[in-house]
């Protein structure tokens, strides 16, 4: 579903010179899986995730999603492609002046859906995340966990093939974290949406990922498999992340 081919991304350092955030990385993520990106702070997890929907443009290499090379697209084509790539953020990034329902409606308005279709789809998505009774509330009136559910419903609304999540539970307490992870797993299983999730916590990987890439200094150290909540790790880095959990 997602192929990253020889991706490089460097940032200009404030003091001068360059910093390699992602170094010659290739990764293949299969349709329907929950794929983790794990590593310590500064490893390049967020950058790699943002390269998938081209919020960051790679300096070289190709990003192929659902058979389409995003790096070769012009701006309008890229916008259309992004409408099928949901994104969930650590800080939720909801629009404060829109109700819950209108936040979820936003990507559908952008995509030109009719009012009736939007209303129906918003109701469905609210149902999925269990917030039907909060449709007319504003984000300021919700708890962190509820805000993230709105974020997930918003990502789900345009029936995306892929949802990208950057530390979706890092701003939440452990109990809420579990319910958000359950919600993402539920969406993956019911709708077959491929989920890519960034985290620095191994327990997130254990609880919902099928596989995960372990990152360090902008490189993939290894790709681990998860079976029955057990992570089969070989590298020292993956082991130390396991111990930290």
Partner 1 sequence: MEEMTFAAALADLAGMAPEIWQACQETGLMLGVGLAAAILLGGPLGIWLYLSQPGQLFANRLVNGVLGWTVNLVRSFPFIILMVSLVPLTRLLVGSTIGPVAAAVPLSFAAIPYFARLVEQTLREIPRGVVEAAEAMGASPLQIIIKVLLNEARSGLISSLTILTISFLSYSAVAGVVGGGGIGDLAIRYGYYRFQTDVMVAMVLLLVVIVQIIQLLGNRLAARLDKR
In whole angstroms, the minimum distance from the beta carbon of 7 to Mg ion comes to 17
Looking at 28-36, 38-46, 137-145, 173-181, which segment touches ligand ATP (CB under 6 A)?
38-46
Q: Provide the minimum distance between the beta carbon of 208 and ligand ATP in the complex, in angstroms, as a whole number.
A: 18
Contact flag: residue 148 with Mg ion (CB under 5 A): no
User: Which 134-173 residues touch ligand ATP, going by CB under 6 A?
Assistant: none
Give the footprint of partner 1 on residues 135-154 (CB under 8 A): 138-140, 154
Which of 174-195 are b and which e, b meaning 16 or more Cβ less than 10 Å from the residue's Cβ?
A: eebbbebbebbeebbeeeebbb
Rounded CA-CA distance 222/206 in Å is 16
Task: Kindly state whether residue 115 participates in binding partner 1, applying the rule CB under 8 A.
Answer: no
Using the rule CB under 8 A, which residue among 62, 64, 73, 81 binds partner 1?
81
Q: Is 230 in the site for partner 1 (CB under 8 A)?
A: no
CB of 85 to partner 1, least distance (A): 7
Our finding on whether 44 is near ligand ATP (CB under 6 A) is yes
Single residue of 2, 29, 34, 45 touching ligand ATP by CB under 6 A? 45
Beta-ladder partners of 35: 196, 211
- Secondary structure of residue 112 in the 3-state scheme: coil
Of 55, 109, 106, nearest to 82 by C-alpha is 55
- The residue among 126 and 220 lying less far from ligand ATP, judged by its C-beta, is 220
What backbone torsions phi and psi does residue 237 show, to the nearest 5 degrees? -60, -50
Name residues whose C-beta falls within 8 Å of residue 187's C-beta, 6 or more positions apart in sequence. Answer: 128, 152, 156, 163, 193, 195
- Residue 58 makes contact with ligand ATP by CB under 6 A: no
89 binds, among Mg ion, partner 1, ligand ATP, none (CB under 5 to 8 A by kind): partner 1
Assess 47 for contact with ligand ATP (CB under 6 A). Answer: yes
- Contact at 8 Å (CB) between 38 and 202? yes
Calpha distance 128→217 (Å, rounded): 37
User: Which residue stretches of the chain are H helix?
Assistant: 45-52, 75-82, 100-110, 115-129, 144-156, 174-191, 202-208, 236-244
**Residues at the interface with partner 1 (CB under 8 A):** 53, 55, 76, 78-83, 85-87, 89, 91, 93-98, 106-107, 109-111, 138-140, 154, 158, 164
**Residues at the interface with Mg ion (CB under 5 A):** 46
**Residues at the interface with ligand ATP (CB under 6 A):** 11, 19, 21, 39, 41-47, 200
């Amino acid at each position: 579903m997602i192929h990253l081919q020889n991706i490089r991304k460097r940032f200009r350092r404030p003091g001068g010179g360059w910093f390699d955030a992602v170094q010659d990385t290739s990764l293949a993520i299969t349709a329907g899986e929950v794929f983790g990106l794990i590593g310590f702070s500064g490893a390049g997890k967020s950058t790699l995730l943002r390269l998938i929907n081209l919020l960051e443009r790679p300096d070289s290499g190709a990003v192929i999603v659902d058979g389409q090379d995003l790096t070769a697209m012009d701006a309008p084509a890229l916008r259309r492609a992004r409408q099928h790539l949901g994104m969930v953020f650590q800080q939720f990034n909801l629009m404060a002046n829109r109700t819950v329902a209108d936040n979820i409606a936003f990507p559908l308005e952008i995509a030109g859906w009719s009012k009736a279709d939007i209303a129906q789809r918003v109701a469905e998505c609210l149902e999925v995340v269990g917030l039907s009774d909060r449709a007319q509330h504003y984000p300021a009136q919700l708890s962190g966990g509820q805000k993230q559910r709105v974020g997930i419903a918003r990502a789900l609304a345009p029936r995306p093939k892929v949802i990208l999540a950057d530390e979706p539970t890092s701003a939440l307490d452990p109990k809420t974290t579990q319910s958000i992870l359950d919600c993402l797993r539920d969406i993956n299983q019911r709708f077959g949406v491929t989920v890519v999730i960034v985290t620095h916590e191994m327990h997130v990987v254990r609880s919902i990922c099928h596989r995960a890439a372990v990152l360090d200094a902008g490189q993939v150290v290894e790709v681990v498999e998860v079976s029955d909540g057990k992570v089969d790790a070989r590298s020292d880095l993956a082991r130390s992340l396991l111990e930290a959990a």
